[in-house]
């Protein structure tokens, strides 16, 4: 998924999850996207993280790294990048490192600092910590944890925009306590609708991206 570390442009009129004080708005909007998802979108969402998990294990097996390292690199290189390109960039980075080439020997489509972080995963064992909840959840979801929810820019939009209406940009900046609050709402809605939290998020992610 793309945009995990997305930093939207500053705007006085940009809606913010951190300033939303009621659960009802978020619950109503998320359910509108979940219920609006087509059969194809639901099917895609249900298997999205399984496919990402297989990709992280493929990279790990092919290049002799750990699945956690591959998943962390995928996450670090994901902001504002489509998934297929994300995988290519991750593989290019891992291939360069394991072959003894330099960080400057290849290009990625995300931001320079993210490329450096991804490189440090193999160079010095850098890991994403819980204090960075979006990326930590994304790595965890890729590795098979279906209970955490990745709140990226698309999911933040779904929280504050109703399906069937023009989607306005929102701010994803929020403290850890607010992130946990939103995560709890989504876990409750996922259980109510008979899917895992990660699948609930993925279905909505597919639906709003294709809206």
For the stretch 113-141, pLDDT in tens is 999 999 999 999 999 998 889 999 999 99
Any idea which of 39-48, 66-75, 124-133 has the lowest mean pLDDT?
A: 124-133
Among residues 49, 105, 93, 100, the alpha carbon closest in space to that of 69 is found at 93
From residue 21, give the alpha-carbon distance in Å to each of 29, 115, 148. Answer: 14, 36, 22
What are the boundaries of each domain within the chain?
A: 15-209
The predicted pLDDT at position 4 comes to 40
The predicted pLDDT at position 14 comes to 62
**Which of the four pLDDT bands, split at 50, 70 and 90, describes residue 174?**
confident
């Amino acid at each position: 998924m793309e945009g995990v570390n997305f930093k939207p442009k500053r705007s006085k009129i940009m809606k913010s999850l951190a300033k939303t004080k009621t659960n009802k708005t978020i619950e109503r909007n998320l359910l509108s996207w979940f219920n609006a998802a087509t059969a194809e979108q639901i099917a895609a969402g249900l298997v999205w993280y399984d496919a990402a998990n297989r990709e992280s294990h493929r990279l790990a097996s092919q290049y002799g790294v750990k699945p956690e390292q591959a998943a962390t690199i995928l996450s670090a290189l994901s902001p504002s990048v489509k998934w297929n390109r994300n995988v290519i960039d991750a593989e290019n980075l891992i291939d360069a490192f394991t072959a003894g080439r330099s960080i400057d020997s290849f290009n990625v489509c995300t931001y320079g600092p993210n490329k450096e972080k991804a490189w440090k995963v193999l160079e010095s064992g850098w890991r994403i910590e819980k204090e960075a909840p979006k990326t930590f959840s994304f790595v965890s979801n890729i590795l098979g944890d279906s209970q955490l929810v990745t709140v990226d820019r698309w999911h933040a939009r779904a929280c504050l925009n109703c399906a069937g209406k023009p989607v306005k940009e929102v701010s994803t900046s929020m403290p850890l306590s607010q992130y946990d609050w939103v995560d709890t709402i989504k876990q409750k809605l996922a259980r109510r609708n008979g899917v895992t939290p990660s699948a609930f998020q993925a279905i909505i992610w597919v639906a709003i991206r294709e809206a």
